[in-house]
Chains A and B, each alone.
Chain A
């Protein structure tokens, strides 16, 4: 593993990618594809959509890299592209979502053999979390993911999704209330 201090800074890679050096963009992709995939998966809750969105994010980033403003963080920019693609997908699909079946998830051939989550209890928890969040309407899930997993502020979410702050708050409240109901077994009991 390379020493992180040896890492070429993002800004340099971006500059090189802007003048057409494909290796530089490839390196950026290596750095961020898992983070982008994680975000896409959190939003869509299925591998196929997450994979498509992750790929589209980098394709769009590559096409627009010359317009990238280096005052911003590269991941913030990718993040924005990815969220917009997710929102577009939700709009296109209406109220329909696809989720992978446990056996088909991510394609068995790509699954990491050394996955430590083989533990049955952990797998069950993950499945329950997956189901609970899949039950949220897309708009509530998007706000919840951006706040809780991506740790964006209300203002940032409001700007990113183009909705008023009050809407961010009410959607987040609804999402938390619903998740609280669905995950009651995993929450601290009243006695404690």
Chain B
């Protein structure tokens, strides 16, 4: 390649785009006429542009889609307007809000002072408080009946059985705040109510307990479901994560799965899953961008259940890193209608090349 060819190479893009001044364009044109190599490159550059200009089109969508699309825009605009109106209303009543905040603060202050006084009186009647656990029938609590004060000082919940009902502890921890404004005489009655672990008096506490139970059941269910899940998927996961066999095993397992797609896998999600959070891949080469194409199965809860290698990078380690990165990513599930659904999505993972610091200025 001659010196002129190298110079022309640097100017060829601008020549194609008509961004050279007249003198430079003329010189490049003359060189191209006499150099088959540069002429070929120019033809290729022009062909690339032509291909994208003429053949690269987005999916053609039906008229109904555009009607739906506009309706979505209007819906979003209405939501924004409503929020703005609400915001304006809120602003108009700022002074009222300030007044209510001040009133709230005053109530909290009064309650705190009352509570402090009540606590001091509570210490003065230790037996009343200490005897309550005895009525609950806990064996060790009886022992404390003679020395209730010590029991309080030692922190009674610690003395209770480890299997003590969680909800009772939760309720108890809520109680001081609820009882602060009440008289010491009421305290005994109140502790009796507390002792009835199954009959929590407050709806809020009952709801809390219910939600705790539900959460536990959900977690237990999820763990059970995971245990029952097909071993194939588990193999993929394990293999991909195993640091001793990077890439190879995980990728193989993923490919093996391809022929045995579960029948319920959706291929026509209305809205593709979206990555919410994913690690940034390192730059691995000074002059080459390495790309890995993956297919990812995202479950309705946003978890990744399968990762398949669609197009490898040629380096097993990088494939493996890309798969692992996707495994650890956080997704928003895809949607079928208004429901989250199980969707495949293609994900491009890229290890960028290092850009030389001065390269951006080369053509300036």
Chain A complexes with chain B? yes
- Which residues from chain A sit less than 8 Å from chain B, CB to CB? 22, 26, 29-30, 33-34, 37-38, 41-42, 46-48, 50-51, 54-55, 58-59, 62-63, 93-101, 103-113, 115, 117, 122, 125-126, 129-131, 133-135, 137, 144, 147-149, 153-154, 164-167, 169-170, 172-173, 176, 178-180, 183, 186-188, 190
For B17, give its contact among A108, A154, A170 (CB under 8 Å).
A154
What's the dominant secondary structure at chain B's contact region? Answer: mixed
Residue-wise, chain B 275-299 has the 8 Å CB interface mask toward A (1 for contact) of 1001011000000010101010000
Residue of A nearest to B363 (CB): A169
Task: Decide if A34 touches B57 in the complex (CB within 8 Å).
Answer: no
Task: Decide if B51 touches A99 in the complex (CB within 8 Å).
Answer: no
A126–B54 Cα distance when bound, in Å, is: 10
Task: Decide if A179 touches B48 in the complex (CB within 8 Å).
Answer: yes
- Which residues from chain B sit less than 8 Å from chain A, CB to CB? 10, 13-14, 17, 19, 40, 43-45, 47-49, 51-53, 55-62, 64-66, 68-70, 72-74, 76-77, 80, 267-275, 278, 280-281, 289, 291, 293, 295, 311, 329, 343-350, 352, 359-364
Residue of B nearest to A95 (CB): B350
Shortest distance from the beta carbon of A39 to any chain B beta carbon, whole Å: 9
Most buried by B among A34, A96, A113, A147: A96
Residue of B nearest to A182 (CB): B48
A66–B15 Cα distance when bound, in Å, is: 41
For A96, give its contact among B13, B72, B347, B361 (CB under 8 Å).
B347
Shortest distance from the beta carbon of A154 to any chain B beta carbon, whole Å: 5
Residue of B nearest to A130 (CB): B56
Task: Decide if A98 touches B60 in the complex (CB within 8 Å).
Answer: no
Shortest distance from the beta carbon of B318 to any chain A beta carbon, whole Å: 13
Task: Decide if B60 touches A111 in the complex (CB within 8 Å).
Answer: yes
Task: Decide if A99 touches B48 in the complex (CB within 8 Å).
Answer: no
For A101, give its contact among B14, B58, B346 (CB under 8 Å).
B346
Task: Decide if A55 touches B289 in the complex (CB within 8 Å).
Answer: no
A164–B343 Cα distance when bound, in Å, is: 41
For A137, give its contact among B19, B43, B352, B363 (CB under 8 Å).
B352
Shortest distance from the beta carbon of B280 to any chain A beta carbon, whole Å: 5
Residue of B nearest to A106 (CB): B59
Task: Decide if A94 touches B60 in the complex (CB within 8 Å).
Answer: no
Residue of A nearest to B273 (CB): A98
Residues of B within 8 A of A94 (CB): 278, 280
For B56, give its contact among A100, A149, A154 (CB under 8 Å).
A149
Residues of A within 8 A of B278 (CB): 93-94, 96
A104–B344 Cα distance when bound, in Å, is: 8
Shortest distance from the beta carbon of A85 to any chain B beta carbon, whole Å: 14
Residues of A within 8 A of B311 (CB): 131
- The answer to whether A51 and B69 touch (CB under 8 A), given A59-B80, A99-B348, A135-B291, is yes
What's the dominant secondary structure at chain A's contact region? Answer: helix
A188–B13 Cα distance when bound, in Å, is: 18
Shortest distance from the beta carbon of B325 to any chain A beta carbon, whole Å: 9
- The answer to whether A109 and B348 touch (CB under 8 A), given A30-B70, A95-B281, A166-B362, is no
A57–B122 Cα distance when bound, in Å, is: 64
Shortest distance from the beta carbon of B39 to any chain A beta carbon, whole Å: 10
Residues of A within 8 A of B343 (CB): 104
Task: Decide if B363 touches A170 in the complex (CB within 8 Å).
Answer: yes
A37–B60 Cα distance when bound, in Å, is: 11
Task: Decide if B56 touches A107 in the complex (CB within 8 Å).
Answer: no
For A176, give its contact among B48, B61, B270, B289 (CB under 8 Å).
B48
Closest 5 CB pairs of A and B: A166-B364, A41-B58, A169-B363, A110-B65, A106-B59
A137–B285 Cα distance when bound, in Å, is: 14
For B48, give its contact among A101, A106, A187 (CB under 8 Å).
A187
For B61, give its contact among A111, A117, A129, A183 (CB under 8 Å).
A111
Residues of B within 8 A of A173 (CB): 10, 13, 363
- The answer to whether A101 and B344 touch (CB under 8 A), given A95-B352, A110-B64, A137-B289, is yes
Q: Could you give 22 example pairs across A and B, Cβ below 8 Å?
A: A33-B69, A46-B272, A47-B59, A48-B271, A59-B80, A95-B349, A95-B352, A98-B273, A98-B346, A100-B345, A101-B295, A110-B64, A112-B60, A117-B57, A137-B352, A144-B52, A154-B19, A166-B363, A172-B13, A178-B289, A186-B47, A188-B40
Residues of A within 8 A of B269 (CB): 104, 107
Most buried by A among B45, B48, B76, B363: B48
A104–B17 Cα distance when bound, in Å, is: 36
Task: Decide if B64 touches A149 in the complex (CB within 8 Å).
Answer: no
Residues of A within 8 A of B359 (CB): 170
- The answer to whether A59 and B59 touch (CB under 8 A), given A103-B268, A107-B269, is no
